[in-house]
């Protein structure tokens, strides 16, 4: 029997048909059976989850009011802090480190009654598009043997798709929520920059990173987003803007369609079907010739690696984390600790970032990339003066095989072509799975700043047209 979606589970518990503890036990049984092969979770909080579920069941029997997310089971990515639990960013350099506090996003889910059941594997320091860069081994696709689940939040996406939990927290620097969500047939949200606090998130590139949810149903995703979003005084980049709860609303009418080349035939066909369906339903869908595709990936990697070289300087073998043994000098301690503690991809990006920030190259690369970023933002703001939402492919290809791109970093970086756009401009983007394809395929809906509710309305409209599985919401299908 498949686990119930959270709304269906809550109804069943209130009706006395099941318990939260029974749901947790079902998730734990699935984890025990499948995680050894998938490697999606690095740690399982079995007893904690059982105890929390038992407490909510006791509250239900007493007739006490349940908080809004009581019994919702989730996992957190291994770069999001959960107090008194290990936190490694899937890197040897943080092996054994225990988080002294929780991320704001985790605090808010816990306060709403959610139950954390485990810590999800990821690409080291969230650097990767396939979840093959983890110091603890790659994550396998949950239902395509020998394929990647996407990255860097591949463990989070695989955990949801495999039935380990209702929901997963990921982080999105350049598509690390949306691309694995697409590869695993799920919903994934990269919120507006500043909408969900970054407090407690291990930084990769601070002006890009955002925490967001991955879920099987749109309703579960909206529930998590609503409770995590909002101002946090501990995060200087947090937006002081109220969060409006989502209520059913008319879908957007004007859809901009950003044309793109180089798509696989499967994705090209799925997107053409989507375009025709929207047009036939009476929506205004207009194709847009986007002139900046060639600039997105270079701009993104120049800026993010520059920020990463600065953010990761704190991992020096002195303050916390891995420390090389028997170093003869402080300089040797630094060099050996970082060389032995960081993986190959992290070192590659640190070196690239140090180069673009170095004297003689700062103006040629970093400053120019910042100008391109502003150009993209202005262009996008102009588009939203004419269109309610924009549609873009999430990925040019369906899931690819393990080790298919590991020997060619450029091809791996190009996997992020369509997702880095929203991170460069800061706009919200929602990955929506498309129905009726032999392999998982997704499309992104982009909206104006802080217009997440418009994205949700657009996704429900696609569900009403039968092109994405929002019809499953609230029916008990997991």
Task: Give catalytic residues, as residue numbers.
Answer: 77, 152, 176
For 101, how many CA atoms within 13 A lie in the half-sphere containing its CB?
A: 9
DSSP 305-339: HHHHHHHGGG-SSSSSS---SS-SSHHHHHHHHHH
**Measuring CA to CA, how many Å separate 148 from each of 71, 118, 145, 297?**
30, 21, 9, 21
Alpha helices in 216-367 (DSSP H): 218-228, 265-280, 293-311, 330-341, 344-356
Closest residue by Cα to residue 1 from 278, 262, 17: 17
**Rounded-to-integer distance, Cα 401 and Cα 393, Å:** 20
**Rounded-to-integer distance, Cα 153 and Cα 138, Å:** 12
Question: What three-state secondary structure class fits 293?
Answer: helix
First to last CA, the chain: 10
**Rounded-to-integer distance, Cα 390 and Cα 254, Å:** 9
Structure tokens at 101: 């506090």
**Measuring CA to CA, how many Å separate 43 from each of 36, 39, 40, 136, 172?**
11, 10, 9, 11, 21
| DSSP structural state of residue 431 | E
With 0-12 / 13-18 / 19 or more C-beta atoms within 10 angstroms meaning exposed / middle / buried, residue 264 is middle
**Rounded-to-integer distance, Cα 118 and Cα 85, Å:** 10
- For residue 42, give the H/E element and its range: strand 41-44
To 10 degrees, what angle do helices 293-311 and 368-384 make? 120
Q: Cis check for the bond before 152: say yes or no (omega within 30 of 0).
A: yes
Alpha-carbon torsion (360, 365, 370, 372), positive or negative: positive
**Rounded-to-integer distance, Cα 170 and Cα 80, Å:** 8
């Amino acid at each position: 029997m498949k686990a119930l979606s959270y709304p269906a589970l809550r109804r069943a518990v209130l009706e006395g048909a099941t318990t939260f503890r029974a749901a947790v036990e079902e998730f734990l049984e699935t984890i025990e059976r499948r995680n050894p092969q998938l490697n999606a979770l690095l740690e399982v909080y079995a007893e904690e989850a059982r105890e929390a579920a038992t407490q909510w069941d006791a509250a239900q029997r007493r007739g006490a009011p349940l908080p809004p997310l009581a019994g919702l089971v989730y996992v957190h990515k291994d770069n999001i802090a959960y107090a008194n639990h290990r936190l490694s960013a899937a890197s040897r350099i943080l092996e054994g480190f225990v988080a002294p506090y929780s991320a704001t996003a985790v605090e808010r889910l816990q306060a709403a009654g959610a139950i954390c059941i485990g810590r999800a594997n990821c690409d080291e320091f969230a650097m990767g598009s396939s979840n093959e860069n983890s110091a603890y081994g790659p994550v396998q696709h949950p239902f395509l043997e020998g394929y990647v689940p996407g990255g860097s939040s591949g463990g989070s996406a695989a955990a949801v798709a495999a039935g380990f939990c209702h929901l997963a927290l990921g982080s999105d620097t350049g598509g690390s929520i949306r691309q694995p969500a697409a590869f695993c047939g799920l919903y994934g949200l990269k919120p507006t920059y500043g909408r969900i606090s970054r407090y407690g998130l291990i930084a990769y590139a601070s002006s890009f990173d955002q925490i967001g949810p991955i879920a099987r149903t749109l309703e579960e995703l909206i529930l998590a987003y609503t409770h995590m979003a909002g101002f946090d005084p501990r995060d200087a980049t947090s937006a002081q803007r109220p969060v409006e709860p989502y209520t059913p609303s008319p879908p957007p009418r004007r859809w901009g369609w950003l044309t793109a080349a180089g798509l696989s035939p499967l994705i090209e066909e799925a997107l053409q079907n989507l375009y025709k369906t929207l047009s036939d339903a009476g929506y205004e869908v207009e194709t847009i010739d986007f002139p900046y595709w060639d600039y997105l990936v270079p701009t993104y990697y120049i800026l993010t690696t520059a920020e990463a070289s600065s953010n990761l300087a704190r991992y020096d073998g002195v303050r916390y984390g891995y420390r090389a043994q028997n170093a003869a000098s402080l300089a040797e301690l630094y060099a050996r600790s970082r060389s032995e503690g960081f993986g190959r991809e992290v070192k590659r990006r640190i070196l690239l970032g140090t180069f673009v920030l170095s004297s003689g190259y700062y103006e040629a690369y970093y400053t120019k990339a910042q100008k391109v970023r502003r150009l993209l933002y202005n262009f996008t703001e102009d588009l939203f003066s004419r269109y309610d939402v924009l549609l873009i492919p999430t990925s040019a290809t369906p899931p690819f095989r393990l080790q298919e791109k590991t020997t060619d970093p450029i091809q791996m970086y190009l996997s992020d072509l369509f997702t880095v756009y929203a991170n460069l401009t800061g706009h919200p983007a929602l990955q929506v799975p498309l129905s009726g394809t032999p392999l998982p395929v997704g499309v992104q809906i982009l909206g104006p700043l802080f217009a997440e509710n418009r994205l949700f309305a657009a996704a429900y409209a696609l569900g009403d047209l039968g092109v994405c599985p929002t019809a499953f919401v609230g029916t008990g299908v997991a």
